[in-house]
Amino acid sequence: MSVNVTEVLVQKANGEKLRLGDLHGQVLLIVNVASRCGFTKQYAGLQELQNTYGPKGFQVLGFPCNDFGGQEPGTLDEIKAFCASNYEATFTLFEKVHAKGTTTEPYTTLNQAEPSGDVDWNFEKFLIDKEGNVLKRLKSAIEPNSRDLTDAIEKALAS
């Protein structure tokens, strides 16, 4: 099933709502993040993607999530401080979400992308094209600098 996120409303860190369609023309990587996870080191790779591809029309969108083993217990301010001090992460972080069970956006919509179902763990990634369509769903173990992901980002930026 083709999944499009242009009508999805998410909550920004300042409490304002953002319609993902307002980012039309940008390639997006949506990731559920956590500060106390075995995959937390991926913050560095996500920031590297932001640095490399951001000037070309790419954005990493991080959605803190405490659904998996209570690995993101902090407040958004604590999470942002942790990311900045440990990984020099400057990509956009949003309000905490639920990615499994009773989900919140963007995961109510994203979990319909193939293979459909709830997110399995922290740092699952969804690559979104310039028109808001989900191009790829990548499991947590796929590193941000993996050839599979970087090739897909470059192809999406070129289209």
The catalytically annotated residue of 37, 89, 135, 156 is: 37
Q: What share of the chain is helix, strand, coil (3-state, %, to 5)?
A: 30, 25, 45
User: How many helices (H) and strands (E) are present in the chain, helices listed first?
Assistant: 4, 7
Q: Is 37 a catalytic residue?
A: yes
Give CA–CA dist 95/63, Å, rounded. Answer: 7
Running DSSP on this structure, what letter comes out for residue 123?
A: T
Please give the positions annotated as active site. 37
